[in-house]
Chains A and B, each alone.
Chain A
Amino acid sequence: MRPTGTPVTRRARLTLFALAGPGLAAVLVIGLRGLPAFGDYHAVYGLVVTGVALSMRHATDLVTAVNFDLRAFDTLGEEYILFASVLGVTLLLRVMREEDEEYSVARHDMYGSSDAVRMLALLLVPLMVALGIYLVIHGQLTPGGGFQGGIVLAAAPAAIMLAGRYVEVKALAPTWAVEATEAIGAAGYALLGLGGLVFASVYLRNFLPAGNAGQLLSAGFMPLNSIAVGLEVMGAFLVAWTAFLDQALLIRRRRRGNQ
């Protein structure tokens, strides 16, 4: 019997794409030609939302109103995608049997960190925390919300890590605590939805009073949703970054002869 033939060569692969790529581009362009001209907008969904969202929910940032109220179920799925992916990263970057976490001093200082970087981080951290909190709780008023604010909040510890204090950050905010924060945020959002079920008889119905537009406590449960998502996003990104930094800085193959 003949042995298996030569594997697909790079040239064959590129040739296939050279034929298929323009074909796909043509199909896409033909489909896109049917779109209305750029800027010529008639979509019912958007028109209705911009018309009623302010009066319905007293929220002035309509993107957040759609994200955390009108299409909150999508956001629930989205935040759990984030949750699942971070669980996945933790699973995939776990310490294997032949590896060890080594805390020897020379390893964990990030290359290039200096006093200047440390001082800059020190100045930036309170600013980032303040900005993050502002973005999270003002989600229903101005552009922002849980996702954006959560990232900025996660950037604060990240700045300290980059300033060379990775191990200290890990000691101060151990992984189990950060994971718990993330999980509380995720559960919190789903539970707020249950609040809608319990108090307003439909899941994810906005059951808190809408308040006055432009005030901090307005738009029903949107600020609470924002906070839940903010916690979750902050926790999730810190867990992910920690997993990657562990791989780069701490985890080493166990040397033969050692325990």
Chain B
Amino acid sequence: MSFLPYAVAAWLFVVGLWGVVASRHMVRTVLCLTVIQSATYVLLLAVGYRSGAQAPVVADIPPVTPLVDPVMQVLVLTDIVIEATVTAVLLALVIQAHKRFGSVDPSDLRPLRD
């Protein structure tokens, strides 16, 4: 039971990669990237979790209460912003790809074949 969150993280990572490899629609490729990123969120937050601890907001609890790790939460917050923005750039590229190639299937993108 104590390994479950880490196993979920590993699973999400590999399943997301599978999604990118097998995808026939570029929007799906982009969304599978967010699945891979979710694996890193789960892992970071699981690493920062402390049994029996409270959220790291000390507004109305005694200061000696054990708290969950705020640093990992900050890392995840930073990563969420990064992911959202890179997804935006990728989706903009997908829109232009649709206009240029008339298709959003990666197999229909021809020009860069060697």
Contacts and interface: CB of A to CB of B under 8 A. Distances in A.
- The answer on A and B forming one complex is yes
Interface of A: 4, 7, 10, 13-14, 17, 21-22, 24-25, 28-29, 32-33, 35, 37-41, 43, 45-46, 49-50, 53-54, 60-63, 65-67, 71, 74-75, 78-79, 81-82, 84-86, 88-89, 92-93, 141-143, 147, 214, 236, 240, 243-244, 247
A121 to B, nearest CB: 23
A30 B84 CA distance: 30
Contacts of A41: 48-51, 53, 69
B47 A78 contact: no
14 contacts: A14-B22, A24-B17, A29-B6, A38-B3, A41-B51, A46-B71, A60-B57, A63-B57, A63-B77, A71-B71, A81-B81, A82-B85, A88-B92, A92-B93
B11 interface: yes
Interface in B1-48: 1-7, 9-11, 13-14, 17-18, 21-22, 43, 46-48
Interface string B52-72: 110111110001000111111
B81 to A, nearest CB: 5
Contacts, number: 157
Contacts of A50: 56, 67, 69-70
Given A78-B81, A88-B92, A39 B50 contact: yes
Contacts of A89: 88-89, 92
Contacts of B89: 85, 88-89, 92
B95 to A, nearest CB: 6
Given A25-B13, A38-B4, A60-B57, 15 more contacts: A17-B17, A17-B22, A21-B18, A22-B14, A35-B6, A38-B6, A41-B48, A43-B48, A46-B67, A49-B70, A62-B58, A81-B81, A89-B89, A147-B77, A244-B95
